[in-house]
Amino acid sequence: MKKILIIEDDKYFLNILFKKLEKEGYSVISASEGISGIKKLKEEKPDLVILDLILPGINGFEILKRAKMNPKTKEIPIIILSNLGQEQEVEKGLRLGASDFLIKAHFTPQMVIEKIKKYL
Amino acid sequence: MKNKFSSENLFGSTFRLVALSALVLAVILSLNLFNQLKKEITVSILNVWAVIVLSILFSSMGVILIAKDILLTQSKEIRETNKELKNLAKSLRKKVKGKTKELSTIIENFTDGLIMTDSYHRIRLINPSAERILNINKKDFIGKNIDSISKESILSEVFYLFKKFTSPIPKTKYLTIKKPKEKVLEVTNIDIYHPSDKYIGNLKIIHDVTREKFIEKLKSEFISIAAHQLRTPLSTIKWTFRMFLDGELGKLSPEQIKFLKNSYKANEQMIALVDDLLNVSKIEEGKFLAKFSPQSIEDLIEEVIQERKVVLDKKNITFKFIKPEDRLPKIKVDAEKLKLAISNILDNAIKYTPSNGKISICISKKDGWIKVEVGDNGIGIPKKEKSRIFEKFFRGKKAALKDPYGTGLGLFITKNIIEAHRGKIYFKSKEGEGSTFWFELPIS
């Protein structure tokens, strides 16, 4: 069973996404802020990360940067799922090594699953 | 004025007068002599001499009188000339003084910093604004060659932004200074040349844009945060409704599904409104188009059509895509934005054309332009609404009835996208018969 880590601070949104991923047959873990997110990334070795950008404490870009700098975690695909989405933000995310940049409001749960399948 | 007083003319007229008087003297003399000789041939030599002496006397008196007259007029003219010259000089001095004062007042009180160097790159002028903006004292720099100034000084940074002797065309660059306070400066470089092409000096205009840049950053951050905050609840609603509709949160009755579907649609409209608002604020910021790359217009349109296949089928619309047999040349566009422009036009056609209607897209090439035309046989645009169709937030009366969720931003955004590609957009329409929108983009 593939393991997916969701780093997301919006509890309600996390709840829906969690449910959807479980239904799709993934093993799901989550973190609601940056520090625990980085910790879980290192310790739990997920197969893929769904990352929000606006987070309390360390933001998503910083998590992404650290994940890609660490040789142990840099190979893990990270998909940004955020409500930011201005050009410079998308560009920054991809430059820092994100596999994809998805805007929550523009994607449905099913579309996100398809993206996940692409990177797993 | 100038000619009257030139030395050449003064000399010329004096010379002419002297020559004329000499001629007159000679004529008088010879006439007198000849007449006397002819009439008094038999008179004694003494008499002849007396006559000669007398005639010489008379003629010289005449000459003296003429000369005196000439000299009098001459000196009067010279005196007048002299006076006029003096007045002219006085008024010129006054004017120059006035102009200098005017110019120095402008320079001293100019809100932008001005720094001027001469042809030897020596600093000649630093106005108070430049002192204030750069936090320098002009006494430390006036008269110094720019190469002799310490490389660490701000003034040196300002000068090394540009190469020496660039061109007479002004160029502008930005300079960020950290000390004593962070400032963003817009420096304009102007090399000054004499009409004979000789380099006279250089002028730097320093405009403090710190505040503008700060506000720009604030606005951009605000838009970013606003978009995020607005989208967050909308996306949660979207995801929840979607999960319900997909049956992942338990079974629903057909009626429940119907209600949820409508709510989902309304929510989608809200998401679209946030996107449109974001786009409009970026258009107003002047930072809308970002990535230009060579693109095939056919492919872009094909992608847009593909995304609308389901709706077109559902409304049973007869759809045609007409393109030339030879592939059109690729043109440099911002693909995402141009797709948005095409989508907006096509979505309008779909929205305002009843079921079983007709929509066509036709692309063609003519004289270095690519033309994209979208025609429909929908509700059309009433005459009196035509002039407002591209206005921000404008919605036609019938259009608003047909689609209450529209934002009135679509065509405004579309027009801005087309124009940012140096293109033009047009339309023709007849109420009740349909509309045709077309735009043209330059190939190079």
Is residue B200 a part of any domain in this protein?
A: yes
Is residue B1 a part of any domain in this protein?
A: no
Cα distances from B313 to residues B261, B262, B356, in angstroms, run: 19, 20, 9
Q: What are the chain A neighbours of B222 within 8 Å (beta carbons)?
A: none
Is residue B42 a part of any domain in this protein?
A: yes
- Given a contact cutoff of 8 angstroms between Cβ atoms, the answer to whether B437 and B425 are in contact is yes
Q: Of the candidates B263, B135, B312, B295, which has an alpha carbon nearest to the alpha carbon of residue B208? A: B135
Domains of chain A: 3-119 (3.40.50.2300)
Verify that B387 and B299 share a domain, yes or no: yes
Verify that B279 and B141 share a domain, yes or no: no
CA distance linking residue B38 with residue B27, whole number of Å? 16
The contacts of residue B433 (CB under 8 Å, 6+ apart) are B377, B380
Which of A16, A19, A105 is the closest to B231 by Cβ? A105
B180: preceding bond cis by omega (within 30 degrees) = yes
- Given a contact cutoff of 8 angstroms between Cβ atoms, the answer to whether B380 and B432 are in contact is yes
Give φ, ψ of B368 to 5 degrees: 80, 10
Please report the ipTM that was assigned to this predicted complex.
Answer: 0.91
Q: What residue type is B317 in one-letter code?
A: I
Number of residues that this document lists for chain A? 120
Chain A residue with the nearest C-alpha to that of B230: A83
Give B322's Cβ-side CA count (13 Å radius).
12
| Domain-ending residue, one of B90, B107, B124 | B107
| Domain-ending residue, one of B285, B312, B347 | B285
CA distance linking residue A68 with residue A78, whole number of Å? 9
Verify that B334 and B413 share a domain, yes or no: yes
- Please report the sign of the dihedral spanned by the C-alpha atoms of residue B338, residue B339, residue B340, residue B341: positive
CA distance linking residue B354 with residue A12, whole number of Å? 40
**Domain containing B140 — which CATH number?**
3.30.450.20
Is residue B324 a part of any domain in this protein?
A: yes
CB contact under 8 A, A105 and B291: no
Verify that B222 and B260 share a domain, yes or no: yes
Q: Looking at CA atoms only, how far is residue B247 from chain A in angstroms?
A: 11
Q: What are the chain B neighbours of A110 within 8 Å (beta carbons)?
A: 242, 246
Is residue B12 a part of any domain in this protein?
A: yes
The confidence score (pLDDT) of residue B438 equals 97
Q: What is the residue-level pLDDT of chain B in tens, covering all 444 positions?
A: 444 445 555 555 555 666 666 666 676 777 776 676 666 555 566 666 776 777 788 778 877 888 888 888 888 888 899 999 999 999 999 999 988 889 889 999 999 999 999 989 899 999 999 999 999 999 999 999 988 888 888 888 888 888 776 666 788 889 988 877 889 999 999 988 888 888 889 999 999 999 988 888 887 778 778 878 889 999 999 999 999 999 988 899 999 999 999 999 999 989 988 888 888 887 877 777 777 899 999 999 999 999 999 999 999 999 999 999 999 999 999 998 999 999 999 999 999 999 999 999 999 998 899 999 999 999 999 999 999 999 988 999 888 888 887 889 999 999 999 999 999 999 999 999 999 999 999 998
Domain limits at B268? Answer: 213-285
CB contact under 8 A, A13 and B231: no
Verify that B91 and B117 share a domain, yes or no: no
pTM: 0.60
Work out the burial of residue B188: count CB atoms within 10 Å of its CB; fewer than 13 is exposed, 13-18 middle, 19 or more buried.
Answer: middle
Pairing of strands B113-118, A100-103: unpaired
Pairing of strands B171-177, B183-193: antiparallel
Q: What are the chain B neighbours of A23 within 8 Å (beta carbons)?
A: 248
Q: Burial letters for B390-408: b for 16+ Cβ neighbours within 10 Å, e otherwise?
A: bebebbbebbeeeeeebbb
Verify that B13 and B98 share a domain, yes or no: yes
Verify that B357 and B424 share a domain, yes or no: yes
- Given a contact cutoff of 8 angstroms between Cβ atoms, the answer to whether B225 and A82 are in contact is no
Is residue B2 a part of any domain in this protein?
A: no
Q: What are the chain A neighbours of B282 within 8 Å (beta carbons)?
A: 86
Q: What are the chain A neighbours of B271 within 8 Å (beta carbons)?
A: 105-106
Is residue B41 a part of any domain in this protein?
A: yes
Q: What is the DSSP letter of B126?
A: E
pLDDT digits (tens, 9 = 90+) for A15-72: 999 999 999 999 999 999 999 999 999 999 999 999 999 998 899 999 999 999 999 9
Q: Of the candidates B343, B372, B383, which has an alpha carbon nearest to the alpha carbon of residue B440? A: B372
Is residue B35 a part of any domain in this protein?
A: yes
**Domain containing B400 — which CATH number?**
3.30.565.10
Q: Looking at CA atoms only, how far is residue A37 from chain B in angstroms?
A: 20
Residues B24-32: contacts with CB under 8 Å, at least 24 apart: B24/B62, B24/B63, B24/B66, B25/B59, B25/B60, B25/B62, B25/B63, B28/B59, B28/B62, B28/B63, B29/B55, B29/B56, B29/B59, B32/B58, B32/B59
Which of B236, B249, B278 is the closest to A13 by Cβ? B236
Chain A residue set in contact with B, beta carbons under 8 Å: 10, 12-13, 16-17, 19-20, 23, 54, 82-87, 89, 103-106, 108-110
| Domain-ending residue, one of B230, B256, B285 | B285
DSSP per residue, B144-212: -BGGGS-TTSHHHHHHHTS-SS--SS-EEEEEEE-SSS-EEEEEEEEEEE-TTS-EEEEEEEEEE-HHH
CA distance linking residue B310 with residue B313, whole number of Å? 5
Verify that B260 and B346 share a domain, yes or no: no
> Can you tell me the mean pLDDT for A98-118?
95
CA distance linking residue B36 with residue B33, whole number of Å? 5
Q: What are the chain A neighbours of B240 within 8 Å (beta carbons)?
A: 16
CA distance linking residue B148 with residue B130, whole number of Å? 19
CA distance linking residue B354 with residue B365, whole number of Å? 30
- How many A-B residue pairs are in contact by the CB < 8 A criterion? 61
Verify that B320 and B414 share a domain, yes or no: yes
CA distance linking residue B276 with residue B406, whole number of Å? 10
The contacts of residue A105 (CB under 8 Å, 6+ apart) are A83, B231, B234, B235, B238, B271, B274
Verify that B235 and B376 share a domain, yes or no: no
Number of domains in chain B: 4
CB contact under 8 A, B228 and A110: no
CA distance linking residue B339 with residue B117, whole number of Å? 51
Verify that B31 and B19 share a domain, yes or no: yes
Verify that B84 and B69 share a domain, yes or no: yes
